[in-house]
Structure 1
Amino acid sequence: MHPLHRPPAVPVHLFQPDDATGNRSFTLVRLQGEVVPVPYMLLPHRKDYYLLFFVRHTSGRHWVDMTPYTHQDNTLYFTNPSQILVNEELAPTWGTYLGFTREFLAVQSNASLRELPLIQNSHHWHQLRLSAVDAAFVEQVLANLDAEHHRAGAWQHQLLSAHLSVLLTYLSRLYTEQLTGPDASADQRVLQAYQAQVEENFRDAHEVSAYATRLQLPAKHLSAIVKAQSGKPAIKHVHERLVLEARRLLVYSDQSLKEIAFELGFSEASYFSRFFKRETGLTPLAYRTSRPSRKMS
């Protein structure tokens, strides 16, 4: 089989049309102590859609890539389609599960939502703690979404989009306050735009100059802003993203080093191996064998 057509290394679970409404791009499920019977959640996997999970109460722990998140009350957990996820257990849960696809965000009226900090998630963080006031607000917006979700009609998509816009904008404000502070300067916005471009293009673009072209900025100017705002060179952001994806594939897939190198845009496996050792201190093979369990534990 040609490598371009090989099956994905980690299972990708596709968005399923909503059972109650048949909606093919948006779903919302309210849980009142149920255990969601989805066995694949106990194995490493990706989802091909965005997921927000507002937890009123549950127990246990889940992992996003190699980071554990112990479940806490009044907390919002969120992921985008690139993450590798796994739950350690399926526990009774009180909360709301909300999923939507890239296609939902691609609709013209929703396009601006793709630029929100929560969706871009440049900090690669996946939880927000909510105060009582924040939790009450989020709960009310989710109730509005739930009501509209079950009310079919010509205006349903527009109203779902409006309620979702309120929710994601509100959560993005919390995201920036908890992770970056409430105000973003022009240079911080350049950093955020750079990080978003790296997330989208790291497999194909390994040089800062390629991102400078995309952002229509001189490469030296972009490098200076990114270094000043983040404390590390612009190229380091690219390298860290490549290492993160390499670690995912080394731990959770059986792909060969050559296949991983090809997937990450390296022309030779030997070049990839040198790059990985320089960045981590271990060869790819040593890293893979140092993590004998493919479970997130």
Structure 2
Amino acid sequence: MKTAIDFRPAPAALPPFDIHPLAWLRQQPAAPQSQRPGSALYTLILVDEPSLGAGPAILSAQASGELYLSRPGQPALATVPARAQGQVLRFTDEFVGLAGHERELLLFQLFHPAATEPLQVPAEQATDMAFLLTSMQRQAAGATLLREDLLRSYLKTLLLYCSRLRQQQSPPTPLLQAGLLGRFQQLLEANYTTWKSVAEYAQRLHVTANHLSVSIRKETGQPASEHIRQRIVLEAKRLITLSDVPLKEVAYQLGFEDVAHFSKLFKRCTGLTFSQFKQQTRAQYHPLQLAVA
């Protein structure tokens, strides 16, 4: 018997991208630990001279630094030195728009919950990271054409630099190969357009559907069904954000033969109809295009 997916209203939308001094983050209220994977923020904190608590706001090109990464639900400042200064960059899953191998490499492995130690940023890489941060700050502060596209491009490049540091400084065994969560995430990424129930994943993982849901909830705070639903909805959001595709085409790409069923699922997950969400996304991500139109 297939485990039913529990549909509940999505939380309020979060800023898709922002970048601030580390001091700003310390003044913000703690983020809820129950934020959903598909809508909550991934956080990168680049610290310059953490032991001294002094230095420029952006990682300098002359000094090595440290990189702290936290995934949705993890406290961003838990291990950051109290006197450290640097930059905080936050983004949502749908904003960066990753899929396939890029998503596994730049989100699952880079932000794996087992990877708790900060990454050391050698001086030779600081110059490139400083340039990327400065470029993102400039784009985020303005309202120029292709602003989001440029931000997304810079962000992916920065994540690639971070991923290379992770691979250089972590054990050679891929983080995702160990544990039920990693194997479930890999299966989900490869099969979310065809497998829609917990039971289908549990069968391939040689566990019961209940054991899979309980185990995934224990590690992430959400059951397996939530991850399945959020991955489907995330891809729908990504398609809407990156291209002007109609409802029928999105439903088809996500493996739904019944467009009405997909439309109902989308509304229950986001609180908006497909058309409403598309209009809201255009206003949020492409304000200049609306102004010209």
Give the TM-score normalised by the residue count of structure 2: 0.48
Greater relative contact order (CA < 8 Å, ≥ 6 in sequence): 2
